[in-house]
Amino acid sequence: MTQQHRDERTRIRAAMDRLLTGQATVSNGSLTVSALAVEAGVHRMALMKRHADLKNEFYERVRAETPQVPEVEKRLRETVTKLRQTIANQKAEIEELRQQVTRLTLASAVLTQQDSLPAPRAELDNVLPFRPPEH
């Protein structure tokens, strides 16, 4: 392990401590890998690739030491909630469309049936047929 590698690990661990105690100096203080990388002064991909163990340690500490849920998990939970709501809305819309198809089918059957009924009587002069009688 090179000295630079050891220095990065030391900076990452110190940044972990600052973030977990709410004393961020450089980053926005959120409990994410991106904020950890900014706080430690290392590239995010270096943290993800070379120091994956520290990234995992950070998330374990976040879960163990803080009552709040990690930012990534919050976003995922919000997305899941939105998707569940979208599914519920779509199911309701599908049910409404099915009912509308049933109503339209019944209306069509009634109108078709009316075509085969005898013409209205002459004494009912206030009733107008939907279609004018064919001559």
Q: Given this model, what pLDDT does residue 133 score?
A: 59
Domain boundaries, the chain: 3-68, 71-112
Q: CA–CA separation, 133 vs 135, rounded Å?
A: 6
Q: What is the pLDDT of residues 23-68, one digit of tens each?
A: 989 989 888 899 999 999 999 998 889 999 999 999 899 888 877 6
Residue in 82, 8, 66 with CA at minimum distance from that of residue 90: 82
What's the pTM?
0.50
Confidence band, pLDDT 50/70/90 cuts, at residue 4: confident
Asked if pLDDT for residue 13 goes beyond 80, the answer is: yes
Confidence band, pLDDT 50/70/90 cuts, at residue 135: low
Rounded mean pLDDT, 84-91? 97
Please report, in angstroms and rounded to a whole number, the separation of the first and last CA atoms in the chain. Answer: 101
Token pair listed for 45: 């991909």
Give 13 or 111, the one with higher predicted confidence: 13
Rounded mean pLDDT, 100-117? 86
Q: CA–CA separation, 14 vs 12, rounded Å?
A: 5
For the chain, the residue count is 135
List own/partner pairs for 110-113 with CB under 8 A and 24 or more apart. none
- Find tokens 């120091």 and name the residue: 51
Asked if pLDDT for residue 98 goes beyond 70, the answer is: yes
